[in-house]
Amino acid sequence: MSRTATSPDALASLNDAQREAVVHFEGPILVLAGAGSGKTRVLTTRIARLIEHHGVDPRHILAVTFTNKAAGEMRERVARLLGAEPEGMWAGTFHAIGARMLRREAPLVGRTASFTIYDEDDSLALVRRVMDQARISTKEWAPKALRAEISDAKNALVTPEDYAQRALHPVERAAAVVYPLLERALREANAADFDDLLVLPVRLLEQHPDRLAEYRRRFQFILVDEYQDTNRAQYRFISLLGGEHGNVLVVGDDDQSIYGWRGADIRNILDFEKDFPAARVVRLEENYRSTPQVLEVANVVISANTNRRGKTLRATRGAGETVTLVGSLDERDEAEFVTTELLARRAADETLALRDIAVLYRTNAQSRSLEEAFRLRAIPYRLVGAVRFYDRREIRDLVSYLKLIANPSDDEAFRRAVGVPKRGLGESTIEQLTERARAAGMPLLAAAGRPDLHDGLRPAARTALAGFSALITRHRERAADSAVDELLVRLIEDIRYEDALKAEGKEGLDRLDNVHELITGAAETVIDEGGELGLTPLDHFLQRAMLVTDFDRQSADADAVTLMTLHNAKGLEFPLVFITGLEEGLFPLSRAHDAPNELEEERRLFYVGITRAKRKLFLSHARSRRRNGETMPSIPSSFLRSIPESFVEQRATIRLRATGRAVLPQSAALRRPGEPVVRRSSRWDPDIDASQDAPRFVKGERVRHPRFGSGTVMELSGTGRETKVTVDFDDEEVGRKRLVVAYAGLERDWE
C-alpha cells in the first residue's frame, strides 16, 4: 500500500509536536518552528491531510511561501503524498499571489490584466521622472532615498494623504510631494511596482466587500510560512482573508526574524494570539539538521535576547565536532585561513563536496578578500547576491522590448528600448516627444506613431520614431499567439541586437551568451495557471521574470563553495559553515547599539548563521580590517561573550601568533566593565592593548574625526568599550553624528 498523508506510517514518522500541528483541523494555530525542525514537512503533510482526510477541495487552500522555489517544492511534495497534483490550490509568495489576484481584478485597481510589473530599477527611473516634473532636485534629494521613504509608507499601508500629514523632516516632505505623483504615473503606465503587489490586493479586499466575501469563500484554509518576516501589508492581507473563518496556520520562528529593515514586524508573530485569541500554539524544538555542539552555541547566543517567545533546540543527531573560534591578523589572513582549512578538510574527507561549504559574512563588501583568496587557490565559488540574471544590461534591454510589446503604455520600457541599439534619438528628442505625448494625453509609444506630433524634429528622428513604432506594432501582433522564445528570436533579428553585442568585443560575446540563456529560459516557461485569465504567453513570462529571486536562481548542482551574506543564507543548510568578520562594529554593526531592537535583530542574524551548519562550524574574527579605505583595529564581537569557553575550540592563525598579540574573545578584549583580566596558561599572550578603556571625553569638548573633521561633543552614554558620543560637526553637510568611541578614531582638537 502506498504511503499517504493519512496512513499510520506518515503520521508515525512525525514527532509529537509535528503531529499535533498536522492533525489540527479547524481554527487558528501558531507553529513556532525552530531552525531545522522540519516545518516544511509539517506544512506539506498538513495540506495533504486536509485534502485526503478532511475532503477539502485544493481550490479552497492558499499556501504562502518565502520564495517561488519553495512554493514549487511544496506543490511537488504534496503531489507525492497524494499521488496526484493538488489542482486549484494557490501556492506562492505574497508578491506572486498578489500579482495573480490583481490580474483577475485589475479594473478594480485602475489597471488592465496585462499591467507591467516594475522592478527596482524601473521604479527608481520613474521616481526620477516624477521628481523632474515636480521640479525636485535629484542633487538635493537622492531618488533612492525618496523611493525608500515611499516604499516604507506603502508597506505600512500609509496613503499619500496620510503620509503628507505626518511628514515632518525635509526628506519626508519631499517624498510627500513625489508619492501621489508616483501613484498617478504608475496608473497611467498601467504598471505596478513590487510594493503595489502587496498594497493593491489589500485595498481591493478592503474597498470591495463582494470580492472579499468571494475570496474568503475561495480560501477556506490558509497556511503561511516564515510568518515572522511579514510586514504590515502582508499581515493585513492574511487577517482580511482569514479573519472570519479563522482557519489560519502560520509557521515561523521569532528567533529568525531578520528583515526589520525591510519593514518586517516581529510583533506579527509575537502577538498572534491577540489577533486570534483561540489560537493553539505548537513548538517545534527537535532539530534534524545540526550536531549538539552547534546547537548549544546557537541556544546560548539567542538566549541573550529578551524580545522572544522562548524555545530551546534539541539535537536528534549524534555528537560531532566542537565549534572552532579563530583569530586572524587581518581580512586577508582570515580569507587565507578559510581556503586552507576547507582544502585540508576536502583532502581528509573525499565525500565533502565544494557545494557542501558556505562562507558567510555580514556585508557584501567583505566578499572581496575572500574572492581574491579563492581565485588565488583556483577554488570554484559562487557569489550569491551578485548581479541577478534579469538585472544584467543585455537582459534588461530585451525585457524592455517585451514589456513594451505586452503593455504599450509602459513609458519606462519605451525609454530604454528606443535607445538600444542606438537609433540617433538623443535625450532632447525624447524629451520633446514626452512633452507632446503628455499634452496629448497619450503614452510615448502612441506619440511615436503619430507623425503630426513630430513637427520640428529632425527628419532622421522622425524616421527612427516611426520605424520603432512599426516594429513594436508588428511584434505585438505576433505576441498574441507566438511562443515567447520565437518572439525573442524574431525581435533580436529585427533589431540586429547580436551584431550590436559582437561589436563590443569579448565582453559583448559574454553578453550574447546571456541572451541565448534568456531565449532558453523563455522556451522552458510553462503556464501553470491553466490560462484561466486569458493572458498571452508573453504576459506569463514577464510576470515570472519580474518575480524571480536570487534564491530561485541558485543551482544546487554546481560544485562550488557558496559565498554570501548572512541574510541570503536564510533557509539554507551546509555541512561546513564559516561565519567571518565577527568584530564589534561590523557584526553587530555599530549603529545597532543605538537601538535595542536593532541589536537583537543583529543577534538573531548571528543565530541564523550558526544554525545553517550541519556538522562543523567556524567562527572567525580579525585583529584589524580595511574599512572605508583605511586599516582599522578591531576587537571580537560582543556576541561572542555569551558563549562559554567550554563550548568552543579556540585557535589563532600562524600570522597572528607570530605577532605575539593573539587575543581570546572571552578574555581582555571582551571584558565587561569591572571584570579582571584572567591570564590563561596557553601559547597565546593576552592582548593588553585591546583591553584598554576607550578614550574619555566630556560634554562640550572639541574633537576631531579623521573623516568628518572637527566638532563639539554634545552627549555621552555608556561606559568602557560601550561608550557612545554624539558630536555636532562643524561641516553642515556632516551635521550631527552618534558614534561608538572605540571605533570612531576621535582625537581631542587642540587647535
DSSP assignments along 80-121, one per residue: HHHTS--TT-EEE-HHHHHHHHHHHHGGGGT--TTPEEE-HH
Other CB atoms within a 10 A radius of the CB of residue 720 amount to 16
CA distances from 151 to 240, 262, 512, 611 (A): 22, 9, 35, 31
What is residue 674's DSSP assignment? T
Grid cell, residue 645, equals: 569557553
pLDDT digits (tens, 9 = 90+) for 615-665: 999 999 999 987 644 678 899 999 999 999 999 999 999 999 988 766 555
**Which candidate in 18, 65, 230, 256 is catalytic?**
256
pLDDT digits (tens, 9 = 90+) for 117-155: 998 889 999 999 999 999 998 888 888 889 989 999 999
**Which candidate in 52, 183, 196, 225 is catalytic?**
225
Phi/psi of residue 136, nearest 5 degrees: -100, 120
**Which candidate in 122, 152, 193, 226 is catalytic?**
226
| Helical (H) or strand (E) element with 709 | strand 709-717
CA distances from 472 to 321, 414, 434, 457, 465 (A): 62, 10, 18, 21, 11
The yes-or-no verdict on residue 693 having pLDDT over 70 is no
**Which candidate in 39, 416, 544, 615 is catalytic?**
39
CA-CA distance, 568 to 623, in Å (whole number)?
26
pTM of the model: 0.76
pLDDT in the model for residue 403 = 95
**Which candidate in 603, 612, 614, 704 is catalytic?**
612
Helix (H, G, I), strand (E, B) or coil at 360: strand
| Helical (H) or strand (E) element with 563 | strand 561-565
CA distances from 342 to 295, 381, 572 (A): 22, 12, 19
CA-CA distance, 518 to 393, in Å (whole number)?
12
Cis peptide before 686 (omega within 30 of 0): no
| Helical (H) or strand (E) element with 621 | strand 613-622
Query: Sign of dihedral through CA atoms 294, 296, 299, 303?
Result: negative
pLDDT digits (tens, 9 = 90+) for 7-32: 566 788 899 999 999 999 999 999 99
Q: How many CA atoms lie within 13 A of 15 on its CB side?
A: 14
pLDDT in the model for residue 682 = 31
CA-CA distance, 525 to 527, in Å (whole number)?
7
* Numbers of helices and strands, H then E, in the chain: 30, 24
Grid cell, residue 481, equals: 499567439
pLDDT digits (tens, 9 = 90+) for 149-202: 999 999 999 999 999 999 988 889 999 999 999 999 999 999 999 999 999 999
CA-CA distance, 43 to 225, in Å (whole number)?
8
Catalytic (active site) residue 184: no
SS (H, E, C) 489-521: HHHHHHHCHHHHHHCCCHHHHHHHHHHHHHHHH
Beta bridge partners of 358: 562, 577
CA-CA distance, 667 to 672, in Å (whole number)?
10
Listed residue (615, 178, 565) closest to 383, CA to CA: 565
pLDDT in the model for residue 274 = 87
pLDDT digits (tens, 9 = 90+) for 331-374: 999 999 999 999 999 999 999 999 999 999 998 878 888 988 99
Residue type (1 letter), 440: A
CA-CA distance, 268 to 272, in Å (whole number)?
6
Percent of the chain scored above 90 by pLDDT? Answer: 62
pLDDT in the model for residue 672 = 41
| Helical (H) or strand (E) element with 62 | strand 61-64
The yes-or-no verdict on residue 237 having pLDDT over 60 is yes
Other CB atoms within a 10 A radius of the CB of residue 716 amount to 16
Helix (H, G, I), strand (E, B) or coil at 14: coil
Phi/psi of residue 625, nearest 5 degrees: -155, 140
Which residue in the block uniquely carries the three cell numbers 541589536? 599
Catalytic (active site) residue 291: no
Indicate the range of 280-289, 389-398, 499-508, 651-660 predicted with least confidence: 499-508
Phi/psi of residue 684, nearest 5 degrees: -95, 150
Catalytic (active site) residue 133: no
Q: What is the DSSP string of 287-308?
A: ESSS-HHHHHHHHHHHTT-SSS
Confidence of residue 525 (pLDDT cuts 50, 70, 90): low
Report whether 724 contacts 714 (CB < 8 A).
Answer: no
Torsion angle in degrees (nearest 10) through CA of 698, 699, 705, 708: 170
What is residue 574's DSSP assignment? E
* Range 95-114 average pLDDT: 94
The yes-or-no verdict on residue 697 having pLDDT over 60 is yes
| Helical (H) or strand (E) element with 274 | helix 272-275
List all residues 6 or more positions away from 171 whose beta carbon is below 8 Å from its beta carbon: 141, 145, 146, 149
The yes-or-no verdict on residue 523 having pLDDT over 70 is yes
Report whether 437 contacts 446 (CB < 8 A).
Answer: yes
Helix (H, G, I), strand (E, B) or coil at 67: coil
Catalytic (active site) residue 732: no
| Helical (H) or strand (E) element with 484 | helix 484-495
Between CA 188 and CA 197, with CA 194 as vertex, the angle to 5 degrees is: 80
Q: Which residue has the higher pLDDT, 672 or 286?
A: 286
The yes-or-no verdict on residue 679 having pLDDT over 70 is no
List all residues 6 or more positions away from 732 whose beta carbon is below 8 Å from its beta carbon: none
Report whether 623 contacts 634 (CB < 8 A).
Answer: yes
pLDDT in the model for residue 44 = 94
Catalytic (active site) residue 40: yes
pLDDT in the model for residue 671 = 41
Confidence of residue 751 (pLDDT cuts 50, 70, 90): low
Indicate the range of 390-399, 647-656, 729-738 predicted with least confidence: 729-738
Report whether 511 contacts 394 (CB < 8 A).
Answer: yes
CA-CA distance, 569 to 578, in Å (whole number)?
12
Query: How far from each other are the two terminal CA atoms of the chain, in whole angstroms?
Result: 88
CA-CA distance, 218 to 204, in Å (whole number)?
16
Grid cell, residue 126, equals: 520613474
Grid cell, residue 239, equals: 487577517
pLDDT in the model for residue 552 = 52
Report whether 103 contacts 111 (CB < 8 A).
Answer: no
Beta bridge partners of 563: 359, 383
Confidence of residue 524 (pLDDT cuts 50, 70, 90): low
CA distances from 424 to 418, 430, 551 (A): 10, 11, 40
Q: At what angle do helices 39-52 and 68-82 cross, to 10 degrees?
A: 50
Percent of the chain scored above 70 by pLDDT? Answer: 89
pLDDT in the model for residue 364 = 81
Catalytic (active site) residue 724: no
Residue type (1 letter), 25: F
pLDDT digits (tens, 9 = 90+) for 535-581: 678 888 888 777 765 545 545 567 899 999 999 998 899 999 999 99
pLDDT digits (tens, 9 = 90+) for 406-463: 999 999 999 999 999 989 898 899 999 999 999 999 999 999 999 999 988 999 999 9
| Helical (H) or strand (E) element with 69 | helix 68-82
Grid cell, residue 363, equals: 556585508
Report whether 600 contacts 638 (CB < 8 A).
Answer: no
Q: At what angle do helices 232-242 and 209-218 cross, to 10 degrees?
A: 80
What is residue 611's DSSP assignment? T
pLDDT in the model for residue 675 = 38
pLDDT in the model for residue 677 = 33
Residue type (1 letter), 736: R
Grid cell, residue 5, equals: 498523508
pLDDT digits (tens, 9 = 90+) for 569-580: 988 999 999 999
pLDDT in the model for residue 582 = 97
CA-CA distance, 740 to 697, in Å (whole number)?
12
Helix (H, G, I), strand (E, B) or coil at 156: coil
CA distances from 673 to 666, 718, 732 (A): 13, 10, 36
* Range 20-49 average pLDDT: 94
**Which candidate in 6, 19, 20, 40 is catalytic?**
40
